[in-house]
Chains A and B, each alone.
Chain A
Amino acid sequence: MEELRETYITPVVPLDFTYNYRVGQYMERFLNSLKDKKLMGVKCPECGKVFVPPRMFCGSCNQKLDEWVEVAQTGMLANFTVGHVVLEKGARLAKAESPYVLGLIKLDDVDSLLLARVEKVAPADLKKGMRMKAVWKEELAGDYSDLDHFEPA
């Protein structure tokens, strides 16, 4: 039997949705401090937890977070995955050019985990609990890409 296929079209949307989200005072301060190779977090007055990136309220305590702290740029690898795929525009699944490592970094004295690329370590050598350090881009722009990756310390 001949295989039946529906014909698909990709509808043309005659609009260009460009949004200018205000990042807010907290993320603005976080991004600006990246330019000085600093990682800034906020500390909860009630539970004492430190969050990086910063946010205005503690989710568990509903307390306003006013105390800014500069946090260490070292920590340990709390979790990792080796990506063999990427999600392209439209969240389309595609094969990655080559496998790459993502890590959840538990910075020293920080309670939330920071998601980052991990480099200079072979996938087979990855271990939870490995010591890690932040590596910065050479030219800093005060945006998300300034903190380039983490690597073994």
Chain B
Amino acid sequence: MENKVAIVGVNLDSALDIEKSRERLIFDLVRGLMDDLGIEPTDVDTTIFATNDFLVGRTISNVFEDSPAGVYMRDESKVEMDATNAVMYGTMRILSGNYQTALIVSQGLCGHQVSPYLHISYSLNPIYDRQLGLLNELSAAAFQARDFLTKYGFGDDLMHAIAANSLANAALNPRQARQLPDISPQQVSESPYYYEPLRELHCYPPTDGGCAILLASAERAKELTDKPVWILGLGSSMDTYYIVERDLTVAPSATKAAKRAYEMAGISDPAREICFAEIAALFAHQEPILAEALGLMEASDAAEKYQSGETAIDGKLPINPSGGALGGHPIPATGGFRVAEATLQLRGEAGKNQVKDPKRAVVLGQDGICAQQNSVLVLGI
């Protein structure tokens, strides 16, 4: 898919405890984006929201979001999924030829208002797992972590190294909520256990935040920016539901999603052709699992990759130079953050997190227990 749909602008904001209402957050994000681009709400042809009813606390959670987004009574739709899916939806709308621009808006205030673990608890089988009360997002992630470590004979120190890589990057990034300057693997290893082997700093923090992204057709993109970031490929896939029937050490749905996205983008050797990856790994161990699914590394090489610095901002294949989801997870905006951070990188505007001269990036957003659903985008300049 060559140069048909571009990301022309992004705006994002997050904090562990953001001091504004969700409506004000949306207004600030969209108004800021429009001011950057010098456009007005009437320049937006369609809007796709990504919000979660459980986390907002009402059905049709986007119902009052069109006004602060400036698109009241305008063409609008919503995904109840990670924001990468809203980006895909907007892309497809532009590809249909009916729209020249698509605004993506996503927010989640899970810092203090509501537990970020709630929506996964509600995705559990109501007549079995929810009744037993033993399974939740964290205990499931712990099983996944243990399976992953055991499969390759890795120790917990790999988890500390992966988390420290992300958290150090997050500390350089003013757009990230969790700021832990001078973080070391040692400090990660001293954070309290949730479910062994999973410790607090292996996990995403409860986060408030949101993002606004404007997509445009090639023609319109030329008028709006001199730094378009092209959506070159996309794909999404969903794994089977029950974690007790899944091999949690692999992510076949991410593999399938990536295959589609790479084919569309004409990429045959991602480990060579991709310059960096923004992966919504909600827990440290998920990063190598998902990176393997994206064709960027063999998970069995993870220890070597992370300890040699290959995944760092100045490494051979930087993973989550922004700090990733361990720096913040404002559900379901997290995938939108990955898209926005990758866009800033490709425009050379990522500040202290800047990777050297990137041309192609892969972005992964996920949803569901143990990354059950995965969406992949290939971006390029």
> Could you tell me which A residues sit within 8 Å of B by CB distance?
4-6, 8, 11, 21, 23-24, 27, 53, 59-60, 79-85, 87, 90-93, 102, 104, 111-117, 123, 128, 144
A21/B195 contact (C-beta < 8 A), A85-B138, A87-B121, A90-B115 known: no
A24/B196 contact (C-beta < 8 A), A90-B115, A104-B244, A128-B150 known: no
Q: 19 interchain pairs (CB within 8 A)?
A: A4-B19, A8-B112, A8-B113, A11-B57, A27-B127, A81-B195, A82-B193, A83-B139, A83-B196, A84-B194, A85-B193, A91-B120, A93-B194, A102-B134, A104-B143, A115-B134, A115-B135, A115-B244, A123-B196
A112/B135 contact (C-beta < 8 A), A91-B118, A93-B117 known: no
Smallest beta-carbon distance B245→chain A, Å = 5
Bound CA span A82–B194, Å = 8
Bound CA span A21–B113, Å = 29
Bound CA span A8–B109, Å = 13
Smallest beta-carbon distance A60→chain B, Å = 8
Q: Whose C-beta in chain B lies nearest to the C-beta of A13?
A: B57
Count B-side interface residues using an 8 Å CB cutoff. Answer: 39
Listed from nearest, the 4 A-B pairs whose CB atoms lie closest are A113-B244, A81-B142, A91-B115, A91-B117
B120, B143, B195, B244: which has the most chain A beta carbons within 10 Å? B244
A80/B146 contact (C-beta < 8 A), A27-B128, A93-B117, A115-B134 known: yes
**Which residues from chain B contact A6 at a C-beta distance below 8 Å?**
17, 19
Given contacts A59-B240, A81-B195, 19 further A-B contacts (CB under 8 A): A6-B17, A8-B112, A21-B127, A27-B128, A59-B241, A59-B245, A79-B143, A80-B146, A82-B193, A82-B196, A84-B194, A85-B195, A91-B118, A92-B115, A93-B115, A115-B134, A115-B135, A115-B244, A144-B132
**Pair A84/B193 contact, Cβ less than 8 Å:** yes
**Which residues from chain A contact B138 at a C-beta distance below 8 Å?**
85, 87, 93
- Main SS of the interface on chain A? mixed
Bound CA span A91–B17, Å = 18
**Which residues from chain A contact B128 at a C-beta distance below 8 Å?**
27, 53, 144
Smallest beta-carbon distance B142→chain A, Å = 4
A80, A91, A102: which has the most chain B beta carbons within 10 Å? A91
**Pair B147/A79 contact, Cβ less than 8 Å:** yes
Q: Which of B17, B121, B126, B242 contacts A21 (CB 8 A)?
A: B126
The answer to the question of B129 belonging to the interface, with a C-beta cut-off of 8 Å to chain A, is yes
A84/B19 contact (C-beta < 8 A), A8-B113, A79-B146, A144-B131 known: no
The answer to the question of B192 belonging to the interface, with a C-beta cut-off of 8 Å to chain A, is yes
**Pair B134/A91 contact, Cβ less than 8 Å:** no
**Which residues from chain A contact B165 at a C-beta distance below 8 Å?**
none
**Pair B242/A112 contact, Cβ less than 8 Å:** yes
Bound CA span A53–B244, Å = 11
**Which residues from chain B contact A4 at a C-beta distance below 8 Å?**
19
**Pair B146/A91 contact, Cβ less than 8 Å:** no
Bound CA span A27–B115, Å = 30
Interface string of B106-126 (1 = CB under 8 A from A): 000000111101101100001
